[in-house]
Structure formats: C-alpha cells, structure tokens
A and B are shown apart, each in its own frame.
Chain A
Amino acid sequence: MSLTNDRIKERLIEKFGEQVSNFEEPYGMLTFEVPKDMNLKLMQFLYDDEELKFKFLTTLCAVHYPDNKGRELAMVYHLHNLTDNIRIRFKAYLDINKPDIFTATKLFEAANWLERETYDFYGVNFIGHPNLKRILNVDEMDYFPMRKEYPLEDQTRKDKDDEMFGRGGSIGYGTVKTNDDTTIAESEKDNVGDKLV
C-alpha cells in the first residue's frame, strides 16, 4: 500500500494537530504550512516516521513577499520519499526583521550549501548552521540581492557612468566623453582636439 497525500495529511494532523495548516495540492503535490519554530521538528518526524520516510531533501529555497507584513519571507522545503515515490512541500513564514529558522544541516548534509545560498540571497538566518557565509556572491556584499526591493537594473538609468559597457548615462557606443560633459561621436573626435578628456 503506497502512501497517498491524504494519508500523509492524516498522519501529520494526528501528530501535530492544528500546528500544520493550509493544506493544498497544487499540481498534485501536497503543500502545507508550519510555524517557523517547527520546521526542524517536522522534518525530523517526517524522516524518522516508519510510514512517512521522507529521507531525501530535494531542495529548499526562500521567497520574498514584501506585502505580507510580519511574514515577508517564506522558506520552502521540498522533501521526497524515495520508497513510495511521493513528494511534499512545506512552507514556514518568517518576519523579515527577525528571519531566524532552525537549520536542517543536522538532518541533511545537502542542506548546508542550500541554506548558505538562501542566506546569501535572502538573509535568512539559519540557527545552528556550521558555516553560514555567503556562497555565490562576494563576502563584502552588504545586502541580500534576491529580495524584491532590489529590482533588476533599469536599462534607461542615468546615474551610472558606465563607459566600460557603453551603456547608461550619456555615454553610448562610438562616443567619446569631453571635458565639458558632452559627448561627441568617435568618428569626429579628430576634429575636436583638446576638448577631449
């Protein structure tokens, strides 16, 4: 008898009662929510339980919802039961001013870098993580770039004098900057002489 979403749901409610909530099944995957201090307890239960056996961490990531006051960051975990081949997803919402959650590294080695990545991009603080440092971005970075307050670069921005890339500001391809902050075309620069920088 293989495991079904209904059975998992039943088993979870049996164990945790009202603490697990918001059950959904988008595109067939059981999805639910737990309080943020419950994530490790829940994963431990899912891992150890004779029937559930969720022993494989597929992935974890964060999502930023700036409009959800008090629960701006969502941690999303995907777990896989390889014996019965069923996946589940659960979420824990965090306050962006205090984004603390327990680490899953004690249970899954795979969580180590995934959590570092999540910290790197969203600033989620994993309590108990052995080495919570930035992983893909430079160490000197002082913000968390995947948060929604940092939009991607606007192609028409004017504040950046980016000659190296020939974009932004008043500098474009084939133009040269002059002393008096105007630009002239590359082809005409011979005629201008000392006006050039």
Chain B
Amino acid sequence: MSDVVSIKDKHIVLPDGSIEKQTTTLNLGPIHPATHCIMQNILEMDGERVVSAKQTIGYIHRAFEKIAERRPLYQITPLTDRMNYCSSPINNMGWHTTCEKLLKIKIPKRVDYLRVIIMELARIADHLICNSIVGVDTGAFTGFLYVMQYRELIYEIWEEVCGSRLTTNIGRIGGFERNFNNTSFTKLEKFLDEYPRVLKEFENLLMRNRIFMERTIGAGPISAERALNYGFTGPNLRAAGVDYDVRVFSPYCSYEDFEFTVPVGSTGDCYDRFLVREQEMWQSIEIIKQAYQKIQEFKGAEAEVYHADVPEYYLPPKEDVYTKMEALIWHFKIIMGEINMPPGEVYNCVEGGNGELGFYLISDGGRTPYRLHFRRPCFIYYQAFEELVRGSMLSDTVITMSSLNLIAGEMDS
C-alpha cells in the first residue's frame, strides 16, 4: 500500500554530524533589534566566540535597476530616495548630477552651494544616526534621544525646501524646484548656532567614556589594504587610514571651492569609525558655514538663481503652465517623460553617507535608461563582515554591524 508512512518519516531526522557538532548555530536576524534593518546573519558560535558568519541579504530587494529601465529620468529620483534613506538628499543629488553630466548641463554656482548645504546636512543626519546607534548598542540610549532633536531640525529644513522629510525627492535636474525661503535659512542659522554645542555634549558622553572605549576599541578592525581590497569607501575606509573621499578626488557640485580636511583613522575598528564620523560632522558644519557665507555674497539677480536654464528638463513655473500654451506642453512632456535623452554612457559618483555612491547610466537615446547600475557602498563592504567579526565576541558583532552603518535599503536596492 502506497499511503503507509514508514516509521522513519515520522521522526525528525537530524542532519549528519549534528550530534557531534561542537558549535552552536545562531540566527541573528532577519528581524532582530540588533540588526536595525532586515538582514540575516547565521553565526556559528563556539561558546561566546564567533567562528564564522554567513550573511543573507535581499529581504527588501525591490528591483530598482529593473524598474529604472522603464522610467524616465524624473521618475527614478524617488527610487534613489529609498536606497540609503538616512541621507536620501545625497542620493537624489547624485542622480541629478549623473543626469546633468549626461546632458552636459552647466550648473550655476549658487545652485551648487545650495546643494552642498543640503548634502552636508544629509551627511550630518546620516552620521548622527550611525554614531548614536553605536552608542545605543553599547548601552547608552541617552545620546541617541538627545541628538534626534537635531536630526528633526535637519528634516525641518528639508521640509521647507522640498516638502518632505525622509524620502525627500529633493531637487530637479538643473537645480531646485523652488528657491530656499527665509524660514529655511532661519532654521539653518538655528542649526548652525545650536548644533555644535550639542555635538560636543554628545562627544563628551561617549568619546572618552571608559565603557564605550573598551567596548569599541579593537572591535571589528580591518587593515587599510584589506579594506581597499574589499572595496570599502567612505568613513569605513577612512577609519582604516586611507584618505579617499570622492569630494576631494573627483569634486562635484563645486566642492573644490570649500576648505575642509578629510579625517582618517588608523586601526579601522569601531572606535575609529566612530571618531571619523564625529570629525566628519564637524567638517560638514564648517562646509555648511562656508557655503552659507558664499550664498550671502551673491547680489542682485544672481542671488535669486536656484536652477540652471534647461527648459527641456526643468519644469516650467506653475503659473505659466496654467496660462501659457508653450509651458503647458513642456510640463506635459516632462511629466510624461516624452523627451529623448542623448545616447551615451556615464559613470558618476558622489560621496554618500556610506561612501562612493556610483551611478552607471547607459542611454541608447530613448526616453528611459537602457541600463542603470547603482554602486551601493553598503552592499560592497558588507561582504567583509565575516572577516571583521571572526573570532570576536557576540556582543562585538552587534556594534560592528551598527558602526558599519548597514542600511538594508541600500544593500538590497
């Protein structure tokens, strides 16, 4: 009789070797407070020590590269928001500069400076979250709650500029959708005035805190050579001692007009990553101050410029759309994506919160990209995770994860 179940099938069959196995398998994630986002680590533990780690990613893969092949340029900006959502304006600007490079648009200086302000605010917001989360994972919740107030202020500035906070979709090809209003500048002044004190206090809480130092020093280190081989970029690479910063190596948005230093660490461990991010926030404040200064120096008509003159890609003003035929047509064409872009291939990168965020765009002369590839820094350096944590304690893997600033949205695209 075929439906008789053999006695063997009724019992749980243990995999070969599982009884003799000396190590414990531990699933860290996909839903676990310590991973901070949806990703899984399968750790082999010998007691409290990590023997090996296997990462599983892709839980929030949304096929951005595929979707982008059916979308005109403007409809791709919201996709970039959702990559590193802690600093989405940088992603947006990265995408706009890529389009501008393809279309060979020259951007006025004032627009560049405004963009620099927005991007550096985004960098602060990104590093602020990352560093305060490292604090949380080592047991200090206070700092996280305290600085959150200033991330809120940054979000308010973005809200004044573009209307949204987290997934910003800020800016247009050629500039901004509207000029910065006075409220945004007032809020920026408030931020520049108050934030340094708060950042200093935050540093006092953690930087020379004995518990924090003992938890982070020597946790998850990487050498400069290995970091480069693993394709590290951004603060994580700089913490290992390599001064590679896209803002300096291939300046975009007039970063060459600003004076700032690129902080580097030496050991590439969690503490150095923390210090590098702290220093970068101070540098970002300096850059914002310089940019704000430069903006105030514009006089007359120049002081009102907030976009380049590219009627084919920049939406006409709303009042014209309602009253003029020409503007209405352009509005329709741009919204519906009925403009062919020139054929070509372009690689453009910006210094994102996590490192070199690259856009490789191939256009065949159609309305949508033929191929768009995102170089997501997070995806590339998360490979090194096993090497970083092998042999360390379980609690170190948690802070290593948070100090790498792993963002599942960016990893999975």
Q: Could you tell me which A residues sit within 8 Å of B by CB distance?
A: 26-27, 29, 31, 55-59, 61, 63-64, 76, 78, 82, 85, 87, 89, 108-110, 112-114, 117, 121, 135-138, 145-146, 151-152
Contacts and interface: CB of A to CB of B under 8 A. Distances in A.
B347 A109 contact: no
Nearest to B349: A58
Given A59-B358, A89-B347, A136 B230 contact: no
Contacts of B347: 27, 29, 58, 78, 87, 89
Given A26-B345, A110-B231, A137-B61, 19 more contacts: A27-B346, A56-B228, A58-B231, A59-B360, A59-B373, A59-B375, A59-B380, A61-B360, A61-B371, A63-B362, A63-B371, A78-B375, A87-B347, A108-B229, A110-B229, A135-B58, A146-B66, A151-B70, A152-B66
B346 A58 contact: no
B22 interface: no
Interface in B220-268: 226, 228-231, 242, 244, 249-250
A160 to B, nearest CB: 17
23 contacts: A27-B101, A27-B344, A55-B228, A57-B231, A58-B347, A58-B349, A58-B356, A58-B358, A58-B375, A59-B358, A59-B380, A63-B362, A78-B347, A82-B242, A82-B244, A117-B379, A121-B66, A136-B57, A137-B58, A137-B61, A145-B66, A152-B66, A152-B67
Given A27-B101, A152-B69, A61 B373 contact: yes
Contact of A109 (B61, B102, B230, B358): B230
Name the 9 nearest CB pairs between A and B, nearest first.
A110-B231, A136-B58, A59-B375, A61-B373, A136-B61, A152-B70, A109-B230, A63-B371, A27-B346
B384 interface: yes
Interface string B51-66: 0000001100101011
B412 interface: yes
Contacts of B57: 135-136
B27 interface: no
A63 B360 CA distance: 11
A56 B65 contact: no
A134 to B, nearest CB: 8
B346 A26 contact: yes
A109 B231 contact: yes
B186 interface: no
A109 B228 CA distance: 9
Interface in B172-230: 226, 228-230
B65 to A, nearest CB: 7
Nearest to A117: B379
B383 interface: yes
Contacts of B412: 136
Contacts of A64: 371
Contacts of B371: 61, 63-64
Interface in B39-84: 57-58, 61, 63, 65-67, 69-70
Given A58-B356, A59-B358, A136-B412, A110 B383 contact: yes
B230 A110 contact: yes
B362 to A, nearest CB: 6
Nearest to A108: B229
A146 B65 contact: yes
B346 A145 contact: no
Contacts of A110: 229-231, 380, 383
Nearest to A57: B231
B57, B67, B102, B383: most-surrounded residue (chain A CB, <10 A):
B383
B65 A78 contact: no
Interface string B84-128: 000000000000000001100000000000000000000000000
